[in-house]
Amino acid sequence: MLKPLHLSRTELATYVARQLTIFYPDGLDTDAPTVLAAHMDAALARLGRCINEVRWWALNEFDHLHSTQYTLFLYYLANTIWKATGNRTLCTKLFGLNKALNGIDLFYEIEMPEVMFIGHSVGIVFAKATYGNYLVVYQNSTVGKNHGVAPVLGEGVVMYPNTAIIGRCQVGDGTVLAQGVSLINADTPGHCTVFGATGGRGGVLCKPTRHDALADIFRR
């Protein structure tokens, strides 16, 4: 079972509630500490599944001072509470807290995968798209809609810094977006690395992936 390193589960719920009060001193959701505590175990169980898959993180340990782990925690907490209670006010505050602390736009209604890794959270934007397991996303990357159409990402998609997947995209399993590449209304066959086309032609170029980046990150 996942164990918070510095705080008990009750203390962790109180800690989050105090952060919300500081950022949103509006007097709403006075029952927030109780609601947070009631759903803490479920949220930590989901976070633990994710943490235990990442090679660089100690098994069954959650450090609330680790910004990436805390980013994931706030999402799983908000999403867990939303699905269980529909408490939009509290979940919106948790979403805003995550954005303020970690610079990420990850709405609580979005269904993210069970296992994912965020390299650096600053500047990341997630739309209500379809996400496969073992997703890896680095800073300043965007998954977005185009004319209301959202992408579908397969399993093991890696988005290096400053990349984007926008609109009607079917992104195959094991697709890696090289730094700075934008995939807009385009598909990938999977198990490939996507580069920007050279020679002023625009578009993208898919080549076979030579290195398994997922093996560097995940224990699977």
pLDDT score for 199: 56
Which pLDDT tens digit goes with each residue over 117-141? 999 999 999 999 999 999 999 999 9
Nearest Cα to 14, choosing from 49, 62, 64? Answer: 64
Which pLDDT tens digit goes with each residue over 126-179? 999 999 999 999 999 999 999 999 999 999 999 999 999 999 999 999 999 999
Which pLDDT tens digit goes with each residue over 192-207? 999 997 755 568 999 9
In our burial notation (b when 16+ CB lie closer than 10 A, e otherwise), range 3-35 reads ebeebebeebbebbbebbbeebeeeebeebbeb
Please tell me the pTM assigned to this model: 0.95
Domain 116-217 CATH superfamily? Hexapeptide repeat proteins (2.160.10.10)
**Per-domain boundaries in the chain:** 3-103, 116-217
